Amino acid sequence: MNTNDGPQIPLEIDVREAARLMQAETDGSPLVLDVREDDERAFCRLPDHLHIPIGQIQARWQELPPDRQLLVYCHHGMRSMRVAHFLRMMGRTHTQSIKGGIEAWAQDVDASVPRY
């Protein structure tokens, strides 16, 4: 997938759609990026993800693969939206924020994820 080709995808993705994509187990499955702080991650997190706190994104965004869809999450979706917007400005056009963050995930996808 070339991140500069094709139509632009929506900036946000619903938690149910994100879960469906994450469970697809294909070579094109998205990379999940947690932008929360360490203390938040210690409380709960989604499986199989990469962690870069929001304060480090500007210095570390080039660590993210340019050829994969990125699904970004935080607690409620505000920080992940800012990160998704920034990454798109940097050319990572297949980046989406998980709408509602891990809070929405706990409510709509997996009730076993602790809420805080």
Domains in the chain, number: 1
Q: Is residue 88 part of a domain?
A: yes
The structure's pTM equals 0.90
Which residues lie closer than 8 Å to 42 by C-beta, 6 or more apart? none
Which residues lie closer than 8 Å to 111 by C-beta, 6 or more apart? none
Q: Is residue 7 part of a domain?
A: no
Q: Are 87 and 72 in contact (CB under 8 A)?
A: yes
CATH number at residue 79: 3.40.250.10
Q: Is residue 23 part of a domain?
A: yes
Q: Where do we find the tokens 């869809």?
A: 69
Q: Is residue 43 part of a domain?
A: yes
Q: Is residue 114 part of a domain?
A: no
Q: Are 88 and 48 in contact (CB under 8 A)?
A: no
**Which residues constitute the domain of residue 98?**
12-108
Residues making up the chain, counted from first to last:
116
The SS3 of residue 84 is helix
Average per-residue pLDDT in the chain?
A: 92
pLDDT tens figures, 56-112 = 999 999 999 998 999 999 999 999 999 999 999 999 999 999 999 999 999 999 999
